[in-house]
Each structure stands twice: as structure tokens, then as C-alpha cells.
Structure 1
Amino acid sequence: MIQIKLISNLIFLLLGSLSFVIGVLGIVLPLLPGVPFLILSALCFAKSSKRLDRKFRRTRLYKKYVRAFLYNKGLTRKEKIRINLIADFFIIMSIIYVDILWVKLVLILLALYKHYYFIVRIKTI
């Protein structure tokens, strides 16, 4: 039982660290959305270690990006647009390169749902 807990903590730690690195890159690079990855890091760090969770919550990245989203339950218009444009680019590229009709239809439905979710469900702050 202790080994399972140790392995799950290690997996959450590795996943949190990886998403943290991607989140930081997303803050710096305009091509990558950073906030979703930082939120994932916060979740993983909370599951892996209380000490690491407290340490992450004291960082400027957490206070500026994650706390703003979690407490305000929304994203800025700029962040919403950036995330949607990047996701749309990859969805469109997938639609162009895939030759299977039902996969194209699923991708189109996914894109439409993504826009609905970002416009209607996520508050703009």
C-alpha cells in the first residue's frame, strides 16, 4: 500500500513538473497557452506533496495566473483568444491532413464545442 502511494506521488510529481515547464514556456512563448498547464501543475503538486503545493502557491506564476483563474473563474480576453487561435490552428491542420471523413467531422464538432465552452462557459475577466 505504501509503495502504491509512493508511485502515485512520483507520477503526480513528474506530471506536475512537466506541466510546470510547459506552462512557463507558454507564458514566454506566444504559441503555447500557459495557464492550463499551470493549473494542471497546481493540481498535480497538490496531489503529490503538501510542501511542494505550498511552495508553488507562493510563486508569482501561481498568484498571477492560476489564482486569478481559480478565484475569478475566468480568463482574460487576450488569453481566451490566444488559446483558441492555437487550438484552431492545430485542429485545422489535422482536418487538412486527415483523409477519414468521420475524423474530420469529430474534429469540427470538437472545435465548435471548444468555442462554445470558451465563449459561454468560461467568464471573461
Structure 2
Amino acid sequence: MVGGLCVGLGILGAVLPLLPTTPFILLASACFMRGSPRFHHWIIHHPTFGTFIRDWQEKRALRRSAKHRAMALIVLSFTVSIYFSPFLWLKIALLIFAIVLLLWFVQLPVIEHLADDEENH
């Protein structure tokens, strides 16, 4: 039940500003892994989310391209939210939250493709 809710919120987060996608999908994966092997298999092999989840579960890291796309979407969604926000205090709060989120996100490890390719050959 919680896993399904997390998948739904993750899908909504893909199209709604300020609602994150990745944490909900990762939480759904953790729930499915424990509660439903069938759903866990589905989400791990999902064409959109599967690669990100496997990278995080196996290496606790993101691919550089995914990290750059995510950072661009964070900046875009916060910029739109700040622009349309009617209150100055909310604009300031959103800006602070965006800066903190980006500072945290930049710290996440990156998967180096060259190192992975050399290990596999």
C-alpha cells in the first residue's frame, strides 16, 4: 500500500514542480523489495526508473547525466515556483530551500562510466 502510494507520488513529482520524484520511487522500491517481489521486479526493470534505482542500490551514486538533468529540473521548477509565488516571504523561503537542496545534491557521488567500462572488460 505504501509502495503504491510512493509510485503514484513519484509519477506526480515528474510533472509537478516542488514534488520530488526520486525519493518516492526509491522508497517505493524499498517497500516493494520487502513486501512484494513482483512489484520490486517491475520497478527495478522499469524503463524510466529502473536504471536510477539500480545505480543507487548497487553503488549509492548517480550517473553524471542524470545528476545534471536533475539539477536543471530543480533549478527550473524552483524558478517557475518563485516567479509565480505571490508572497515575498515565500519567494525567499523557496530560494533558500532551492539553494540547500542543490548544495546537498551536488554532494551526491557520481558514477564514472570509464571506470565501470574498464572493470567490465
Q: TM-score, normalised by structure 1?
A: 0.63
Within a 5 Å distance, the mapping from 1:64-103 to structure 2 comes to 64-103=51-90
Alpha-carbon contact 1:75-1:123 (below 8 Å) kept:
yes
Bigger radius of gyration, 1 or 2?
1
User: For the aligned residues, what is the CA RMSD?
Assistant: 3.1
Unaligned runs of 5+ in 2: 15-19, 112-121
Structure 1 residue 110 displacement after superposition? 1.0
Instruction: Check if 1:41 corresponds to 2:28.
Output: yes
Q: Report the AA paired with residue 81 of structure 2.
A: S
SS at match of 2:68: helix
Residue deviations 1:84-116 (CA, integer Å, cap 9, x gap): 111211111111111311111111111111111
Within a 5 Å distance, the mapping from 1:11-26 to structure 2 comes to 11-18=1-8, 22=11
Structure 1 residue 82 displacement after superposition? 0.7
Aligned residues: 105
Residue deviations 1:35-73 (CA, integer Å, cap 9, x gap): 5553233023235x2333553476365763312112211
Mean CA deviation greater in 51-60 or 91-100: 51-60
Partner of 1:115: 102
Partner of 1:59: 45
Instruction: Check if 1:105 corresponds to 2:80.
Output: no
Larger helix percent: 1
SS at match of 1:99: coil
What percent of counterpart residues are identical?
21
Q: Report the AA paired with residue 104 of structure 1.
A: K
Partner of 2:110: 124
Aligned-partner Cα distance in 2 for 1:98–1:60: 35
